[in-house]
């Protein structure tokens, strides 16, 4: 797979994780400001609106990637969001992950490495 395609897939996964962080911030903010109901506090939340916009842009990027890379080769890269999102959660929200999570991620990344390096 071409380096440019791999780079775009990495950016897509990072963007998905960034969007998840924005959704978490929006959820926390909505929980604090839920005066007139959850829905109203969410749809008037700037973080939620930005997160939805990020996912809209990512959808366009995904479709563009699929014009260049077969779905069966591109889709496994989305597991990288399972690496980036918890890392952001640990550093931004001070969440904890345990050793089993790390072992699981190692296995997932090993599978991705096999697909990328050995699949034709």
What range defines the domain where residue 114 resides? 3-118
pLDDT interval class at 12 (50, 70, 90): very high
Number of domains in the chain: 1
Predicted confidence (pLDDT) at residue 91 exceeds the cutoff of 80: yes
Statement: residue 14 has pLDDT above 80: yes
**Over the stretch 99-118, which tens digit does the pLDDT of each residue have?**
999 899 999 899 888 887 87
- Which carries the bigger pLDDT value, residue 36 or residue 29? 29
pLDDT band at 65 (very low <50, low <70, confident <90, very high): very high
Q: Does residue 76 contact residue 115 with C-beta atoms inside 8 Å? A: yes
Given pLDDT bands bounded at 50, 70 and 90, which one contains residue 120? low
Distance (Å) of CA 33 to CA 36, 42, 48 = 8, 9, 13
Cα-to-chain-centroid distance, residue 19: 6
Tracing tokens 């990637």 back to the chain, one arrives at 65
């Amino acid at each position: 797979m071409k380096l440019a395609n791999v780079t775009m897939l990495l950016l897509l996964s990072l963007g998905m994780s960034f969007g998840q962080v924005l959704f978490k911030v929006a959820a926390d903010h909505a929980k604090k400001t839920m005066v007139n109901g959850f829905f109203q506090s969410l749809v008037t939340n700037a973080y939620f609106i930005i997160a939805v916009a990020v996912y809209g842009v990512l959808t366009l990027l995904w479709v563009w990637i699929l014009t260049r890379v077969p779905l069966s080769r591109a889709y496994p890269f989305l597991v990288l969001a399972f690496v980036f999102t918890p890392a952001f959660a640990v550093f931004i929200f001070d969440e904890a992950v345990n050793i089993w999570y790390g072992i699981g991620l190692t296995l997932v990344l090993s599978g991705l490495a096999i697909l990328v390096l050995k699949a034709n």
